[in-house]
Chains A and B, each alone.
Chain A
Amino acid sequence: MKIKGQIFSIDFLLSLIIVVFAIGLLVQLIELNAYDLKEKELNRELEGVALTAGSRLVNSEKISCELVTSAPAPLTPPQYVMNCIDRAKAGTVTKNDLGIPTDFDCNISIDGITGIPFNNCNTAVTGLEKNIAGIDRNVVLHSGSLTKSELEKCLGDLPGCTLTEGTAKVLVWR
């Protein structure tokens, strides 16, 4: 009976140690997982804001080129050209127009083209930001409203097309 008791207690002790280790490992994993999930949630939110801003940048009437008659005279109801950024509107477009919450910072630039001031979305990237979400959208640029005759030149690949191609880079962070 003495031997039996000895064996039982050692077995029990070993099992207990293993169970304690297992529980410790699990607790650690759960802790890491909770942190990871929180990070992912924040990143997902950031990506969502960047995607929305990118979509609104190419769709919103607040920044899109307005299509007017060759005269030029506005159309009723007003028509806007998707993926066409009006340089004149870039300075006045707000974060709200792009669906970016006020507590987020943003920077919009057009690759290879300077002199388009996105006044409300031009915070410089310092490199100290924790996470930045970005999206590229292919766009064409135009200064002011787009007349029917100008559009026809571009659609027909005729000389005198005033649309220039560019890539809009939208960066968002908090």
Chain B
Amino acid sequence: MALKGFIFSLDALFAAMVLILAGMLFLSSVNIESPKEKQFDLVKKEAMDSSQIGFLLKQDESPLSGTPKYAYCQKIFLYKYSLTGKGTVQLKQYCVGR
């Protein structure tokens, strides 16, 4: 009968542990934020700005260097109009990585 009492307390102990673990897991899952989207959004905005400024000021393309965690490339197609004949299409690519 003494064993029965022991088993009961062990069950309660496990229950308490499960309760704590479940609570902690639940709270940590609520706490987990996803900064990926935010970082990517900022990189994307920077690349779009770079491409627009690059287009306006005829700046060189900016290739992607290294192995950034977040990267975005913005392509611009320019049509060079020619009075004498067919125009030409030029592609420029501006990349930003972080």
Contacts and interface: CB of A to CB of B under 8 A. Distances in A.
Interface stretch (A88-96, A98-106, A120-128, A156-164): A156-164
Contacts of A3: 2
Contacts of B41: 51
Contact of A83 (B6, B12, B56): B56
Contacts of B86: none
Given A26-B23, A29-B23, A7 B6 contact: yes
A66 to B, nearest CB: 15
Nearest to B21: A22
Contact of B27 (A33, A161, A165): A33
Residue with the highest number of chain A CB atoms closer than 10 Å, among B9, B55, B56: B56
A37 B30 contact: yes
- Chain A interface mostly: helix
B45 interface: yes
A81 interface: yes
B91 interface: no
Contact of A26 (B20, B30, B52): B20
Contacts of B12: 11-12, 15, 18-19
Interface in B1-29: 1-2, 5-6, 8-9, 12-13, 15-17, 19-20, 23-24, 27
Which A-B residue pairs are the 6 nearest by beta carbons? Answer: A15-B12, A11-B9, A157-B58, A138-B49, A8-B5, A83-B52
